[in-house]
Structure 1
Amino acid sequence: MFKRILVATDGSTLSKKAVKSAISLAAQTEAELVAITVVPRYPKNYFEGALTFSPDDVARIEGEWAQEAQGTLDLVSGQAKAAGVRIKTAALSSDLVAEAVIAAAKKHKCDLIVMASHGRKGIKRLLLGSETQHVLTHSTLPVLVLR
């Protein structure tokens, strides 16, 4: 059925459920799992005259975020291997999370994207946006959304 499944995780409780489901589905279909997490780039400054950060501070903060992302991926990798699922992992750096997810799925030739939805409604959804919604509306691949 599926040969390669991409699961996007941010380490949150909901994304951990998506990871668990993706591992289960990959085991059932003997598919390879590709687990990714997207690390944002640290803003250099917001407005002219606002507090700016030194390049060293930015590098340190981005390094901490990358380490945290790798820790999340290591946990997913351990769970997948324990279930007998082949896995590849990647920590991506991008401010465009949904676009990074879609691009990773294409790059790794996945035939399904699995991700969680935080289930925001109303004005919160409008103000905060939805990476999952963006993936759903812009991906040419099937997307399994878990909540």
Structure 2
Amino acid sequence: MYKRILVATDGSKLSQKAVDHALSLADMTGAEVVALKVVPRYPQSYFEGGVALPASEVARVEKQWHDEAMATVTAIKSAGQKREVKVKPVTAKGDLVSEAIIGTAKRQKCDLIVMASHGRRGIKRLLLGSETQQVLTHSHVPVLVLR
């Protein structure tokens, strides 16, 4: 059925449900899992009064974020090994999480994306947006959403 399942995580409790589900599904179908955490770029401030950090400091912060993301996806790999599921830990750098998820799914030749949704409604959804909604709208790969 599925050969390669991408599971997107942000390290939250809610996304852990998606991870658990993806590992179970992979175990049942014999699929490989691609565990993805998207790392943002350091925001550059161009506003008057904004403090610009030296390039070395920006690089240090971005490396720290990347290392934390790798720790998250490596933990998923360890969980997969306990279930005898092959897991490939991956990070992607990008300002738009949904684009990074869709792009990674395409590059890794995934045939399913598993992710969680916070289920925000009303003004919170309007202000915070919904990465899950963007993935659902723009992905050509099937998406399984957990709440």
State the TM-score, normalizing by the size of structure 2.
Answer: 0.97
Aligned equivalents of 1:68 and 1:9: distance in 2?
12
Percent sequence identity is 60
For 1:21, give the aligned amino acid: H
Shift of 1:48: 3.9
Other-structure match for 2:96: 96
Shift of 1:84: 0.7
For 1:12, give the aligned amino acid: S
What is the CA deviation profile of residues 4-35 of structure 1, one whole-angstrom value per residue up to 9, with x for unaligned ones?
10000111000111000000000000001111
For 1:51, give the aligned amino acid: V
Aligned equivalents of 1:145 and 1:71: distance in 2?
24
**Structure 1 stretches of 4+ moved >4 Å:** none
Q: Any residues of structure 2 matched to 1:2-13 within 5 Å, and which?
A: 2-13=2-13
Please tell me whether the aligned partners of residues 45 and 53 of structure 1 are also in contact (alpha carbons under 8 angstroms): no
Aligned equivalents of 1:108 and 1:68: distance in 2?
22
Aligned equivalents of 1:98 and 1:39: distance in 2?
12
Shift of 1:60: 1.3
Aligned equivalents of 2:8 and 2:32: distance in 1?
14
Structure 1: stretches of 5+ with no match in the other structure: none
Give the length in aligned residue pairs: 147
Structure 1 residue 63 and structure 2 residue 63: aligned?
A: yes
Aligned equivalents of 1:145 and 1:107: distance in 2?
21
Aligned equivalents of 1:84 and 1:50: distance in 2?
50
Aligned equivalents of 1:46 and 1:79: distance in 2?
42
Aligned equivalents of 1:46 and 1:131: distance in 2?
25
Shift of 1:81: 1.1
Structure 2: stretches of 5+ with no match in the other structure: none
Other-structure match for 1:86: 86
Matched position secondary structure for 1:10: coil
Q: Any residues of structure 2 matched to 1:1-147 within 5 Å, and which?
A: 1-147=1-147
Aligned equivalents of 1:86 and 1:67: distance in 2?
21
RMSD: 0.9
Aligned equivalents of 2:11 and 2:46: distance in 1?
27
